[in-house]
Structure 1
Amino acid sequence: MKINKPSLSFWQIFNMNVGFLGIQYSFGLQQTAINPIFLYLGAPEDMLPILNIAGPVTGLIVQPIIGAMSDKTWSAKWGRRKPYFLIGAILGSLCLFAFPTSPVLWFAVGLLWILDVGNNMAMEPYRAFVGDKLPEKQLSLGYQMQSLFVGAGILLANGSIVLFQYLFGGDTVEAAGTIPTWLYYSFYIGAILSITTILYSVLKTPEIPPSSEELIAINKAKSKSLTERIALPFKEITDSIKKMPTFMWRVGAVYLFQWYALFIYWQYTTPLFKLTMGYSTGEAASQSAQMSLTYNIVTMVVALALVPLTLKFGGKKIYALSLFGTAISLFAIPYITNPIMVLVPMVLFGIGWAAMMGIPYTMVSKVVPQERRGVYMGILNMMIVIPMGIETLTFGPIYKYLLGNNAINAMLFAGVFFTISGFLALRLNVSNKEKVV
């Protein structure tokens, strides 16, 4: 039975997505501050990919399982998705408080694993939450609003790094094996934002009760034995993959190259600026934060502007063009040594990031059933973390033996992969025949 969903006002859609701000602030710190912390604590550059394997592994395991569990959850008091992203936010906040005080490298690596579990618990149900609440005609606005908050969260994270490095970093000589105290403040802000923004959305946005058919399925799941209930999410994931529409397999092909390239970019901007601009680790980290600051400002500006463009020209074309633009930006960055001019390519990167964070979710949400939206959003995330996992396992040796331990070559490699993903995105066609029943 299809649930008739009322259209929401702009501010209702805004309020339901505020919690994404805190989640993305945390991811912003992971993109920009985590790898410099690893370098401060003595990690070799060729180890950066494998040290970041926590993200792919926890995403691969946590998101589809949490998605399947949330599909079979309902509480009149707490809702369906909200309990999961609330617990994830609390876990993430605790890790963010502890992270900058890491005494040794492997302590920081362990905290990254726990932080990623919390972030993934919060992230996946939030994607399904938007699909649950909005009628199809508002899905593009809902997911592009999430894209706006992706930009805002990462913008605040990286803006705080730049600000605190300017205010408290000074000309202090960086001591080997220690994390500078100016980095602490950004993590403390993130810990507060993670929980407060989620609480705001939880309190402001009621969830739509499940249909009678969904309630029957939920109660049937609750009546099973503990062993059967533990096994149920894995059965749901397996069955959903078997029934997955061809469209999602095509998205997976795009994501293979797109997310492999993104992980290279996030890991190697700091080493790149140490090489091309002769910066120290702290200066390179600050420059990397400015890059992220710039492209996320662009993301915030263009995120909602992409809604009418996708409606007019189709999500496929806008998405593919954005990936080609991102490739151009990565080809340009290694050859610009001026710290101001190197921010210019981030305009194209920011447009691409806005499209990546919204358009695929809109298209996928239209071809998956309501009662399995959580598990399919989890499977979509598997398509993100699998290429990231492949990158963490393969790119270290590629960087060391094929690319000559050269961060310039790493960035060009990522540009090639973005080009491939753009061509693959041209194959994305949403068809009613592909909808799962």
Structure 2
Amino acid sequence: MKLSKPKLSFWQIFNMNVGFLGIQYSFGLQQTAINPIFLYLGAPEDMLPILNIAGPVTGLIVQPIIGAMSDKTWSKRWGRRKPYFLIGALLGSVCLFAFPHSPVLWFAVGLLWILDVGNNMAMEPYRAFVGDKLPEKQLSLGYQMQSLFVGAGILLANGSIVLFQYWFGGESVEETGTIPQWLYYSFFIGAFLSLTTILYSVFKTPEIPPADEELEEINKIKSLPFSQRITQPFTEIIDAVKEMPKFMWKIGGVYLFQWYALFIYWQFTTPLFKKTLGYTTSEAASQAAKMSLTYNTVTMLVALALVPLTLKFGGKKIYALSLLGTAVALFAIPYISDPTLVLIPMVLFGIGWAAMMGIPYTMVSKIVPQDRRGVYMGILNMMIVIPMFIQTLSFGPIYKYILGDNAINAMLFAGVFFAISAFLASRLNVPKTAIDTDVEVAND
């Protein structure tokens, strides 16, 4: 039986998602600044995929476990999801402060592992947090609001990189083993935002207490011996996978190609601009930041506009078209030699990013049971990190031996994978419950 949840105002939904700003600022730095730091510290380009393996491994392990644990957590003082994204934000904040001080490559790689644990620990319960609080009629707004903050966080991260390089950078000679001083400031801002934005949402948004049946189950688990409590999340994950709706398996097929392609884009944008624009690593990293700045600005502008479009035309169609537009953007980028004109395809990329960060979560949240929302959101995020894991292991050899160590070919490869994901998304059969909800909202 579903609990009746009160309808929240626009600003209540806004406040509960502010914490996503800090989380996504951190992810923005990972997308744009981490790989240049690896290059500054002497990493070869074909090693970039394997050096990023922390993301998929920690996501694969941390997100479903934290999701399962948060489903079975309740504290009158701290709530259900909040303890987890508070601890994750604190861990991420410490790592962001330390990252630009990395003296050698192995130290930076180790920090990335810890940072990813913190980010995943904070982000996964946040997805379930929105589903817990909002009635079905407001789920689309809630998740697209998260998409807006995804754009805002990454926008601020990359904007700060561009701004600080302009103010304090301009090194004409790059010294291997040295991270430019201007890059430090963006990480310090991230360390501050990671914690403060989470705290804002924690104090502004109370959690809904679990139903009596859920509370009884939670107390039952608390009474188990310690050894059984340790294994309980793993048992919950296994059971959830066995009973997972078929729709989620189909989403997994879309995600396989979508996220493999995204990881290629993030890893090889800097090497691409070194080749196509003749830039140094610092100049190429700045251009990559401008690209991210552009597409995340678009994401911010269109995120909420996608809500009425998905209600009118259906999430499947908007999602598939957005992925196709992203493919077109990646096909175009390698053939544009003007650093200003190369920003134009980012309009399509930004629309796609807004759809990717909101629409699938709305679909899934409507079809999974309330008492398992955390674990299923964790499993959905497993479907993100599994393609990333595959990419980190497979794409280095592909890049070196098949694509000829050529970043242009890498970007075209990613475009093909986005086109495949668009085709698979167009064949998603949206569950009847989700269709009925959308129609009900559209007619509201």
TM-score w.r.t. structure 2 length? 0.97
Aligned to 2:178: 178
Aligned to 2:426: 426
Please give the per-residue CA displacement for 1:274-331, whole angstroms capped at 9, x wherever unaligned. 0000000000000000000000000000000000000000000000000000000000
Does 315-324 or 1-10 show the bigger shift? 1-10
Please give the per-residue CA displacement for 1:125-148, whole angstroms capped at 9, x wherever unaligned. 000000000000000000000000
Aligned to 2:366: 366
Secondary structure in structure 1 of the residue aligned to 2:430 = coil
1:171 is displaced (CA, Å) by 3.7
Aligned to 1:409: 409
Please give the per-residue CA displacement for 1:89-126, whole angstroms capped at 9, x wherever unaligned. 00000000000010000000000000000000000000
Aligned to 1:206: 206
Aligned to 1:292: 292
Aligned to 1:280: 280
Secondary structure in structure 1 of the residue aligned to 2:224 = coil
Q: Does 1:248 align with 2:251?
A: no
Aligned to 1:23: 23
Q: 5 Å matches for 1:105-124?
A: 105-124=105-124
Q: 5 Å matches for 1:33-432?
A: 33-432=33-432
1:255 & 1:2 partners in 2: Cα distance? 29
1:196 & 1:136 partners in 2: Cα distance? 29
Q: Is the 8 A contact 2:93 2:192 kept in 1?
A: yes
1:54 is displaced (CA, Å) by 0.1
1:34 is displaced (CA, Å) by 0.1
Please give the per-residue CA displacement for 1:380-423, whole angstroms capped at 9, x wherever unaligned. 00000000000000000000000000000000000000000000
Q: Is the 8 A contact 1:28 1:155 kept in 2?
A: yes
Secondary structure in structure 1 of the residue aligned to 2:367 = coil
Q: Is the 8 A contact 2:248 2:364 kept in 1?
A: yes
Please give the per-residue CA displacement for 1:173-213, whole angstroms capped at 9, x wherever unaligned. 22111000000000000000000000000000000000001
1:433 is displaced (CA, Å) by 7.1
Q: Is the 8 A contact 1:41 1:179 kept in 2?
A: yes
Structure 1: 5+ residue stretches without partners: none
Amino acid at match of 1:418: F
Amino acid at match of 1:375: V
Secondary structure in structure 2 of the residue aligned to 1:279 = coil
**CA RMSD, 1 decimal:** 1.0
Amino acid at match of 1:155: L
Q: Percent identity?
A: 84
Amino acid at match of 2:134: L
Q: Is the 8 A contact 2:92 2:114 kept in 1?
A: yes
1:18 is displaced (CA, Å) by 0.0
Aligned to 2:441: none
1:364 & 1:130 partners in 2: Cα distance? 12
Secondary structure in structure 2 of the residue aligned to 1:6 = coil
Q: Is the 8 A contact 1:367 1:430 kept in 2?
A: no
Q: Is the 8 A contact 1:96 1:187 kept in 2?
A: yes
Q: Quick one: structure 1 residues 434 and 205, their matched pair in 2 at CA, closer, same or farther if it must change by over 3 Å?
A: closer
Aligned to 2:439: none
Q: Is the 8 A contact 2:366 2:433 kept in 1?
A: no
Amino acid at match of 1:313: F
Secondary structure in structure 1 of the residue aligned to 2:202 = helix
Q: Is the 8 A contact 2:84 2:122 kept in 1?
A: yes
Structure 2: 5+ residue stretches without partners: 436-444
1:170 & 1:269 partners in 2: Cα distance? 20
**Number of corresponding residues:** 435
Aligned to 2:14: 14
Amino acid at match of 1:266: W
Q: Is the 8 A contact 1:246 1:434 kept in 2?
A: no
Q: Is the 8 A contact 1:367 1:432 kept in 2?
A: no
Does 420-429 or 39-48 show the bigger shift? 420-429
2:41 & 2:367 partners in 1: Cα distance? 46
Q: Is the 8 A contact 1:257 1:387 kept in 2?
A: yes
Q: Is the 8 A contact 1:25 1:157 kept in 2?
A: yes
2:173 & 2:433 partners in 1: Cα distance? 62
1:388 & 1:421 partners in 2: Cα distance? 15
Please give the per-residue CA displacement for 1:331-356, whole angstroms capped at 9, x wherever unaligned. 00000010000000000000000000
Amino acid at match of 1:268: F
1:232 & 1:171 partners in 2: Cα distance? 53
1:28 & 1:365 partners in 2: Cα distance? 25
Secondary structure in structure 2 of the residue aligned to 1:177 = coil
1:432 & 1:221 partners in 2: Cα distance? 34
2:8 & 2:429 partners in 1: Cα distance? 27
Secondary structure in structure 2 of the residue aligned to 1:366 = helix
1:432 is displaced (CA, Å) by 3.9
1:430 is displaced (CA, Å) by 2.2
Amino acid at match of 2:275: L
Amino acid at match of 1:170: G
Secondary structure in structure 2 of the residue aligned to 1:209 = coil
Amino acid at match of 1:140: S
Q: Quick one: structure 1 residues 251 and 229, their matched pair in 2 at CA, closer, same or farther if it must change by over 3 Å?
A: same
1:314 & 1:172 partners in 2: Cα distance? 51
Does 425-434 or 147-156 show the bigger shift? 425-434
1:172 is displaced (CA, Å) by 4.2
1:434 is displaced (CA, Å) by 9.6
Q: Is the 8 A contact 2:298 2:350 kept in 1?
A: yes
Amino acid at match of 2:153: G
Q: Is the 8 A contact 2:366 2:434 kept in 1?
A: no
2:429 & 2:216 partners in 1: Cα distance? 34
1:73 is displaced (CA, Å) by 0.1
